A and B are shown apart, each in its own frame.
Chain A
Amino acid sequence: MGRMQRREFMKMAGLAGAAVAFSGVPSAMAADEAAEQKAKVDATIKQITGGKEPGKGGLELKAPTIAENGAVVPVTIQPKGIVPGRLFLIVDENPIPLILDVKVSPKYSGDGAISSRIRMRKTSTVRAYAFDSKGSLYGDFKTVKVTIGGCG
């Protein structure tokens, strides 16, 4: 979409939004937000993977199925049979999806796990990616249900 076109579009979207606000149905706005969020996540993933599809196995993402408190969600990335050189952690629904980017020097790390505690705004897919020392990509995903959001 060109610059002028985009501007026109935004103007129209603004009007539509105002109309929606008056009619009391905010679903169009919510849909816009969801699309924006998805574009953000897709861009982040593409930046990391370079568009490659991750291989199966190689690592396991450990996170609770239901997190009661979104402010503190324990996560662990456990390599399985690979020696990772770089690890990533992404939460799809967070304002800033990329949470961890870890460079690993395999000499002392081996296939050791990495754990942290993260914030989650709401129920979301959590993604872990790993590149092994040969540059192969692996991924594991999990949906974590959040009862109380952790960003406010």
Chain B
Amino acid sequence: MADIGKAIIRVPKAACGEMVEVKSLITHPNDTGLVKDEKTGQLIPAHYVSSCKVEFNGETVYEFSMGPSVSKDPYLAFSIKADKAGTLKMTWKDNKGEVFEQSADINPV
């Protein structure tokens, strides 16, 4: 699973001062630790994204704490007031301590 942590962030065009709805998706198996492997009969160990931090120009806007009940390839959408141009940075962490980062630009017109 080399694709774990590959993230997509979509930022639509927005007028200055308006809310932009940012959509994000990160590739991750998000195993709950409660499901058995059909072949071996063993439980698949928990491996899920446990938190996601959203920063805009270095300021924290959202801090998500997520349980394993979030679907595979966790999807998060949220809104940010685009009153100036800047960088949106998202940092995901999973329960095994891995950290994934992705940035996107917000350029209100």
Contact = CB atoms under 8 A, between A and B. Distances in A.
Interface in A94-152: 94-96, 98-105, 107-110, 112-120, 150-152
A119 B78 contact: no
Given A110-B19, A112-B19, A96 B67 contact: yes
Nearest to B30: A119
24 contacts: A72-B72, A94-B69, A95-B32, A96-B69, A98-B67, A99-B67, A100-B70, A102-B62, A103-B63, A104-B62, A105-B59, A105-B60, A107-B81, A109-B62, A109-B78, A109-B80, A110-B81, A112-B21, A114-B76, A116-B75, A117-B71, A118-B71, A120-B69, A150-B71
Given A72-B71, A151-B35, 8 more contacts: A107-B59, A107-B61, A108-B80, A109-B80, A115-B78, A118-B69, A119-B71, A120-B69
